[in-house]
Structure 1
Amino acid sequence: MSTGWSIYIIAIVALNIVGCVWLLWWTGKRRPGDPAPTDTSHVWDGDLTEYNKPMPRWWINLFYITIVFGIGYLVLYPGLGAFAGTSGWTSARQHDAERDAREATLATTFAPYGGQPIDTIAQDPHALELGRSIFANHCATCHGSSARGARGYPDLTDTSWQWGGDPDTVLATVLDGREGIMAPWEQVLGGPRGVTEVAVYVQSLSGTATDPALARAGKTRFDGICVACHGRDAKGNPALGAPDLTDRVWLYGGDYESIRTSISQGRHGVMPAHRGILGETRARVVAAYVWSLSNTPKQPVAASP
């Protein structure tokens, strides 16, 4: 804050304080010629009268005490321009102190799970409850409170995993995020006709009834271009994030128009990294919860205290 603005704010605050004191003093005193408290010239309906009684002195004094309190507050805490206050308090310092206290509590709560394998953590009912809470706060925005996802956001309760569903891979996805890119292929495939043929062939891979001639032509194009990511059997490649095209699980929709759009315009999906948001231990706990949604732990263990 510049010196000019600081002086301006201090002047405004001082003027308001002085104005409040003057207003209380001016309106609270009695002047020569004022009517007595029991005198009035305002009468309604013959017996309703308005008296000229000032506020009790103790009430006026409470207003003065409030002003003194306000001045003391401005001395102790920031409020007078660039003056930081004699107490040294700042909202940032209080925020950091409260954050550190909360982080210490969380560290104690999650300490038993530090470094443990995901499938081991998934056997602890208490850990799964903690993971469910973390998921609700950080993951449900995209994947839904039931973890069943939505268009463009994968269902975490099935067994179809774009990047792999083993415990270590799920943890890596939570910690460091993923970025899946499907490039637009319309020009490479020879225009709209080529896109149509490949879209029809891709539909046929999951058992949808299609035009056999278009599907055969689409297979030829698929085998020349798309196999690089999705493989000759079209079952995908988790190392690249290329999905299996032979099941009935579709991230962006399995109808003809959705598949055609994916091929012609491409797709770009991003799973943000949560290492810096959650830390490794909490990421392990929520990863264990996510993994447990599609995997049954072999042998439950006693919950951690």
Structure 2
Amino acid sequence: MTHPLPFRRLILSLGLCLWAGTSSFAAAPPADPARAQLAAGKSRFDKLCVSCHGANGAGQDTYGPPLQNRPELSPALIRERIVKGKHGDHAMPPWGTVLDRPAIDALVAYVEVLRQPAATQTAAPLSPFDLADPARIEKGRKRFAKTCAGYCHGHEGVSGRAPDFKGRTDLGPQQTFDTIYHGRTGADVMPPWGAAFSEESIWELVAYLQFLGRQSAD
């Protein structure tokens, strides 16, 4: 069955409109695999290992030994400890029966960073992508406008109930991520968003707030 010419033109026009509409919502570039793995490893470490090894593996007054600045810990030994655990003094559970291979690989990658001498470690945040990526900043801006601007932080992070974000250089990326993820109590109470947003989405919010911090406060 053949369609009249005007009808075929209508179908073609609709198809072009749909194509144009979907192309305008292009996704942000994928996360860098190595950075994403380190970010996942840190997240897993913060949930499972901090109680024994301390924040960032510092190991101060903790049950487990420190992991920072331990170049003698080989990647093979790190993996073995995570998979098989340890008996005796300062016993450690075997995580190989709980975690899958990608999760273990991520933990190994993160501990490998911790065990390096402090002088060789980079100060870059363990985010799954470049926080200066314009596409990620834009996604963070849209999420901020929908979730954060109206009640507490104001349009573009200015003139809200909370302190302005523009021109602020005192908010480090990891500190910002942790505050969004865990929330805050006290005078400046803030709900935790870790259960509502994926970690990648929270890092996009961080990217936007870091962008605001680079703008003039005027």
Return the index of the structure with the highest Cα Rg.
1
Larger fraction in strand:
1
Q: TM-score, normalised by structure 2?
A: 0.39
Q: TM-score, normalised by structure 1?
A: 0.29
Q: Which has the higher contact order (CA 8 A, sep 6+)?
A: 1
